[in-house]
Structure 1
Amino acid sequence: MAIDLLYNVLIFLAAAVLIVPIFKWLGLGEVLGYLAAGVVIGPSVLGLVPDAEGVLQFSQVGIVFLLFVIGLELKPSRLKVMRKAVFGFGSLQVAVTTVILAISAWWLGLPPIAALVVGFSLGLCSTPLVLHLLGERKELQARHGRNAFALLLFQDMAAIPVLAVIPILAAGSLIADGVAPLLGEILLAAGAFLGLIVGGRYLLRPLFRLAANTRSREVFAGTTLLVVIGAALLMDIAGLSMALGAFIAGVLLADSEYRHNIEADIEPFRGLLLGLFFMAVGMTAQLGLLAQQPWMIVGLTLALLLAKALSMIVAARLYGTGWREATNLGVLLSQGGEFGFVVLTAAGTAALLGQELVGLLVLVISLSMAVTPVFFLAHVNWIRPLFVGKPRPKPAYDNPVDDSPQIIIAGFGRFGQIMGRALQGLKIPYTVLDINADHVEFVRRYGNKVYFGDASRIDLLRAAGADKARVLVVAVGDIEASMRIVEQVKRQFPHLRIFARARNRYHAHLLMRAGIHNIVRELLPASLELTRDVLIELGIPSEQAQHTIDTFRPHDEQALMRQLEVFGNEKKLIQTVQEAAQELEALYEADEEVATTAPRRNAAPRERQDP
């Protein structure tokens, strides 16, 4: 049994490693690569893994993790900024497309409920495929890119209640057994739903705080897996979708200080399991249908692409966009999507749809996804130039407040908090990462947005927005941790401008050797300011005391640079320190001579002016 399991794992990994990179190189995206890999190793081609249905059942855990990550991204502030595009344009498009496709399915002979499920599932688009195409052409921030993202976000949210309702729609015993059994199921589902929300609201943060205090990455990752799988199983026991439970758990943690760390820990599991799901879908694709009825399959695929493109253009025009943007969206979002696989599979499992019909529609969706990159490239080269004209005025939602951070502060102790208060007063967005869980919890009580996490982790920095940020402030007190962060960031995010806090001269030398020049020694400004006040207290005039400090600062910086040249050579370092002390004494003696001779130069004119 163990050998068979290892054999299957080896087959999946080999297929993914060999086939997915080819599809990425062709610009078709990872999703199609996984689908093709599944087709190759599935029963339709090589038959290396015969139990496609069993793999598909297990691989739906990937969708659970995907929904959890989507929930983590849905912060209330982000939805508020994009609410018009998400709920206005998104709901309009889903309604128009679902109605058109459902009526078509009903006309072809499906019952009303089945036709509605088919219309909705075919109306969903592929989030990873569309975002990949937009990112490849750097059009995510274009007008049609933002509208596409808003639409995909709404579709992801809309799929959740549909997945939850499918088991209820499949309760065919309503007429035979009466309303009581259905009411019992609804009450059980509602109780589980409320229990998850209430329990998660009051238990999740203490649970993650306890895990964070262990300082063990494995314990924290295990806690994340426990929450995701536990929430999914709770919904499954209540008769609802497992994905719904994971989504709710993600939303409950969206504003948590542990969000970035959770996202970084869950990403590898999500990616692998989601890839396994797409491979399982490819394994279940009935290529025999394409060989037996090629014209019907191709005709249905083209009909789906045309119907979705037209419905997208209609919805975009009703929403108020121009023809150029509407056609961009129509071509870009004309394919089926991975959530269509999920909804159709759930409907087939619940016996709302026949397995033959599910296989046919899965094949049609797969083919529509395969041809979308080609159609979009043709549209960009030949159709889009025809719509070049005067730019339309931007709608209000095109100028949102950017919630991606311009500044990331690593460490939020006394040093970092001062900077954070100043930035908050200027309304400059920033993200804070701190490794001390107790400290994070304490600081958040005062309204500060601080996230738990080790800023030396590349995955965590990427989850916190390091790809888009401009400045990283390393305010970590521990010297080794500070240098670890600097080394990782300079290697992985070379565009980030690094400003660092140095504990002492040794730390400053380490930072300078690492190529960091925006350095503040934490004790130097306060020490010089206090020295000036002490000199004034001793009777030295305030101007002279300030001049003493102004003389010391550049001299100390020059000495620091000279000592950097002999870093690691203790004998030469001692000699440099002694020479610097002698130079400073000479500077002060020269200043004293100037101060004593200056009154004599000014005395003669005053005497001549006396009567």
Structure 2
Amino acid sequence: MEGYAKELVPIVALLAAGVVAVPLFKRLGLGSVLGYLAAGLVMGPFGFDLFGDPESVLHIAELGVVMFLFVIGLEMQPSHLWSLRKEIFGLGVAQVVVCGAILTGVGILAGLPHAVAFVGAMGFVLSSTAIAVQVLDEQGKTSTPYGQRIVSILLLEDLAIVPLLALVAFVGPATSDSDDASRWVTVGVAIGSLAALLAAGRWLLNPMFRILAGARAREVMTAAALLVVLGAALAMELGGLSMALGAFVAGVLLSESSFRHQLEADIEPFRGILLGLFFMGVGMSLDLSIFAREWQVIVAGVAGYMALKAVGIYVVARAFKGSHIEAIRRAAVLAQGGEFAFVLYSAAGAAGILDVNTSAIFTAIVILSMALTPLALIASRKLFPNRKEVSMEGIERASSAEGEVLIIGFGRFSQVASQALLARGITITIIENDPDMIRSAGNFGFQVFYGDGSRLEDLRTSGAASARAILVCVDDEKTTDRIVELVQHNFPRSQLYVRSYDRRHALALIGKGVEYQIRETFESAMAMGEAALRGLGVADDDVVTLMTEVRRRDEERLELQIAGGLLAGRSVDRGRFPMPAPLTEPKGPGRALNPEAAQALRDKEAAEQEAAS
């Protein structure tokens, strides 16, 4: 028993350090990443020395980065990924090339051999995916255009490790002619591994999850999710590629699966814990003895590399028409070296390009730059404030809300839609992600909580699980679709009433099976047309007839489009997805067609056609 207790002491101490350090550093405004790094440094060889081998911790914790990339992949449908091709292969390549050239040039000017300068520079060019994505996630900006551009750059950098490793192998001193053949074999194995993963994802993953879902065993689905992530990572690792790249590809392949939200929920707890462990492992790996011996070189390297890389990022961002503030923010997020530098430096050491001391110095420079990233972000916000940033002071988040109705978004549309519910005395929970809108609503007596309906955790804390009805009133089509998918998958008992953007969006929502959808401008436009007819002197009976006819034609066009299967290529069960029930009174805004008047019009048309023939 003593043996088990002795083995548990370091684990308990490490968890305790993270639990204490992260909230403390977040309270100080320094972010969770710096808290994890500090906790790792305290627990490592140069602190309490509870972990003598930080590398073993890093190897396990790297799975946190792998799972993070899998979750990102789940959000990247192939069509969306294709839409980012210019950012990935344009912006990403430009940043790697420009920053690589600048840092390599500096290394050569500092007296390093050309090969050493190149390897050192390219290792630093590959930014930390773990830190950058964690920062975006904490700021809630991963899905914004700004966040998507950073993710695109990180993806390209993850891809860049493959040719860089191949280049290191070729630049390294060759021992025989057979080495050239073995290098080409390595490249072929890498390509074959990627092709095998794509084939498995295309033809095996979805059928496998359908079979497992039929077993109705949640733990089996969780195990299958871990199997997919770790299996894809292993396949890429064996092929000489990045484990994170393999997990990302697996995520993309499952992004259009009906199981993707459950997979994300299953992976999330493991991802968070392992990613925190990864940052603590990085903190443990900071060799203070190397720093004590070579502190002048390391400090100069960190300052020079980070400053020059930031300049390169800024120049590329501006060249690609990014704003001044965005370019600065991007430079602050990506100015550090990353975890793939360790892989590149290790390969360069094995190839005889870097000696042990030089590799240790480069590694220390990268680790220190990762630790300084949260401080660089704080400095960028202080020195270059963004006037558009809004204070969160006084803004309250929903916590265990239990309203009968949950309203997502509180703009002009939902303010009107909520009036009848409030007048009836129905309990409502309202969430909105614009702090200014929340404060403005508070001035008029509305209690609106801060929350993002496209995030599963915010939906849970806002009471989506207990809400009888959920009104999706946001004004962005993609966000609306994301919310609908999350609600239908995680809270199927809640009725969905959705604001649609246009006819095409309305058809897509009908195909998804929402209880009710309405085009955001349809009823107001109908009311204006009706008012114009009355203002032009058209008799009331004729106005009613004309408006009824317009509604009939609109609904018939919807019926025809549904019957024609014009719902994103899917067939539709018309009985399962009925149109909103018609009201009996056609007068006034928001009324549907009068069935009796509509039938009279149809009879009249039929008689006219018969007379004409």
TM-score bracket, normalised by the shorter chain, equals 0.5 to 0.7
State the match for 1:364 in structure 2.
365
* Counterparts of 2:507 and 2:314, CA distance in 1: 36
State the SS of the aligned residue for 1:71.
helix
State the match for 1:393 in structure 2.
none
Correspondence 1:499-578 to 2 at 5 A? none
State the match for 2:46 in structure 1.
44
Name the CA shift for 1:270/1:139 in 2 (closer, same or farther; >3 Å): closer
Does residue 1:77 correspond to 2:79, yes or no?
A: yes
> For each residue in 1:144-169, what CA deviation from the matched residue of structure 2 results, as whole angstroms up to 9, or x when unmatched?
x7445403432234213415752674
RMSD of aligned C-alpha atoms? 4.6
Alpha-carbon shift at residue 218 of structure 1 (Å): 0.8
* Counterparts of 2:116 and 2:509, CA distance in 1: 46
* Counterparts of 2:241 and 2:53, CA distance in 1: 26
State the match for 2:381 in structure 1.
380
> For each residue in 1:346-368, what CA deviation from the matched residue of structure 2 results, as whole angstroms up to 9, or x when unmatched?
65577654444343334333433
Does residue 1:282 correspond to 2:358, yes or no?
A: no
Aligned 8 A contact 2:146 2:326 in 1: no
State the match for 2:19 in structure 1.
17
* Counterparts of 1:328 and 1:12, CA distance in 2: 32
State the SS of the aligned residue for 1:405.
helix
Alpha-carbon shift at residue 263 of structure 1 (Å): 1.3
Letter of the aligned partner of 1:116 in structure 2? F
Alpha-carbon shift at residue 88 of structure 1 (Å): 3.1
* Counterparts of 1:414 and 1:140, CA distance in 2: 26
Letter of the aligned partner of 1:176 in structure 2? S
State the match for 1:176 in structure 2.
176
TM-score normalised to structure 2 length = 0.60
State the SS of the aligned residue for 1:427.
helix
Greater Cα offset, 307-316 or 366-375 = 366-375
Aligned 8 A contact 2:477 2:501 in 1: no
Does residue 1:93 correspond to 2:95, yes or no?
A: yes
Match for residue 427 of structure 1 among 505, 527, 544: 505
* Counterparts of 1:429 and 1:369, CA distance in 2: 48
* Counterparts of 2:289 and 2:212, CA distance in 1: 51
Correspondence 1:48-63 to 2 at 5 A? 48-63=50-65
* Counterparts of 2:27 and 2:499, CA distance in 1: 46
State the match for 1:160 in structure 2.
159
State the match for 1:221 in structure 2.
222
Correspondence 1:229-268 to 2 at 5 A? 229-268=230-269
State the match for 2:311 in structure 1.
310
Aligned 8 A contact 2:161 2:242 in 1: no
* Counterparts of 2:200 and 2:9, CA distance in 1: 41
Letter of the aligned partner of 1:93 in structure 2? Q
* Counterparts of 2:357 and 2:75, CA distance in 1: 36
State the SS of the aligned residue for 2:50.
coil
* Counterparts of 1:133 and 1:186, CA distance in 2: 34
State the SS of the aligned residue for 2:484.
strand
State the SS of the aligned residue for 1:10.
helix
* Counterparts of 2:340 and 2:258, CA distance in 1: 29
* Counterparts of 2:505 and 2:241, CA distance in 1: 42
Correspondence 1:447-462 to 2 at 5 A? none
> For each residue in 1:10-45, what CA deviation from the matched residue of structure 2 results, as whole angstroms up to 9, or x when unmatched?
232122112222222222222222221111111112
* Counterparts of 1:225 and 1:70, CA distance in 2: 15
Alpha-carbon shift at residue 110 of structure 1 (Å): 4.6
Correspondence 1:332-371 to 2 at 5 A? 332-341=333-342, 343-344=344-345, 353-371=354-372
Greater Cα offset, 130-139 or 236-245 = 130-139
Letter of the aligned partner of 2:314 in structure 1? I
Alpha-carbon shift at residue 138 of structure 1 (Å): 7.5
State the match for 1:557 in structure 2.
none
State the SS of the aligned residue for 2:228.
helix
Alpha-carbon shift at residue 204 of structure 1 (Å): 0.5
Does residue 1:123 correspond to 2:125, yes or no?
A: yes
Letter of the aligned partner of 1:155 in structure 2? L
Aligned 8 A contact 2:65 2:130 in 1: no
Does residue 1:186 correspond to 2:187, yes or no?
A: yes
Structure 2: 5+ residue stretches without partners: 390-474, 514-519, 521-574, 583-594, 597-613
Alpha-carbon shift at residue 372 of structure 1 (Å): 4.1
Larger Rg: 1
Name the CA shift for 1:428/1:50 in 2 (closer, same or farther; >3 Å): farther
Letter of the aligned partner of 2:117 in structure 1? A
Name the CA shift for 1:32/1:170 in 2 (closer, same or farther; >3 Å): farther
* Counterparts of 2:168 and 2:253, CA distance in 1: 28
State the SS of the aligned residue for 1:97.
helix
State the SS of the aligned residue for 1:50.
coil
State the SS of the aligned residue for 1:299.
helix
Aligned 8 A contact 1:94 1:155 in 2: no
Letter of the aligned partner of 2:208 in structure 1? L
State the SS of the aligned residue for 1:125.
coil
Alpha-carbon shift at residue 131 of structure 1 (Å): 5.9
State the SS of the aligned residue for 1:170.
helix
Name the CA shift for 1:381/1:41 in 2 (closer, same or farther; >3 Å): closer
Aligned 8 A contact 2:73 2:251 in 1: yes
Name the CA shift for 1:415/1:314 in 2 (closer, same or farther; >3 Å): closer
Letter of the aligned partner of 1:151 in structure 2? I
Alpha-carbon shift at residue 286 of structure 1 (Å): 0.9
Name the CA shift for 1:174/1:89 in 2 (closer, same or farther; >3 Å): same
State the match for 2:454 in structure 1.
none
State the SS of the aligned residue for 2:14.
helix
Letter of the aligned partner of 2:64 in structure 1? G
Name the CA shift for 1:302/1:236 in 2 (closer, same or farther; >3 Å): closer
Letter of the aligned partner of 1:249 in structure 2? A
Name the CA shift for 1:414/1:321 in 2 (closer, same or farther; >3 Å): closer
Structure 1: 5+ residue stretches without partners: 389-398, 433-447, 451-469, 471-521, 530-541, 544-611
Count of matched residue positions in the alignment of Structure 1 and Structure 2: 437
Name the CA shift for 1:350/1:11 in 2 (closer, same or farther; >3 Å): farther
Letter of the aligned partner of 1:115 in structure 2? A
Letter of the aligned partner of 1:427 in structure 2? H
Letter of the aligned partner of 1:240 in structure 2? L
State the match for 2:196 in structure 1.
195
Of all paired residues, the percent bearing the same amino acid is 38
State the match for 1:408 in structure 2.
484
Letter of the aligned partner of 2:203 in structure 1? Y
* Counterparts of 1:328 and 1:166, CA distance in 2: 30
Alpha-carbon shift at residue 332 of structure 1 (Å): 4.7
State the match for 1:445 in structure 2.
none
Name the CA shift for 1:195/1:122 in 2 (closer, same or farther; >3 Å): same
* Counterparts of 1:184 and 1:131, CA distance in 2: 34
State the match for 1:482 in structure 2.
none
State the match for 1:490 in structure 2.
none
State the SS of the aligned residue for 1:27.
coil
Name the CA shift for 1:262/1:421 in 2 (closer, same or farther; >3 Å): same
Name the CA shift for 1:52/1:411 in 2 (closer, same or farther; >3 Å): closer
Correspondence 1:483-494 to 2 at 5 A? none
TM-score normalised to structure 1 length = 0.60
State the SS of the aligned residue for 2:234.
helix
Letter of the aligned partner of 1:234 in structure 2? A
Alpha-carbon shift at residue 4 of structure 1 (Å): 5.1
Correspondence 1:129-144 to 2 at 5 A? 129-130=131-132
Alpha-carbon shift at residue 307 of structure 1 (Å): 0.5
* Counterparts of 2:247 and 2:138, CA distance in 1: 30
Alpha-carbon shift at residue 414 of structure 1 (Å): 12
State the match for 2:464 in structure 1.
none
Alpha-carbon shift at residue 71 of structure 1 (Å): 2.5
* Counterparts of 1:422 and 1:137, CA distance in 2: 28
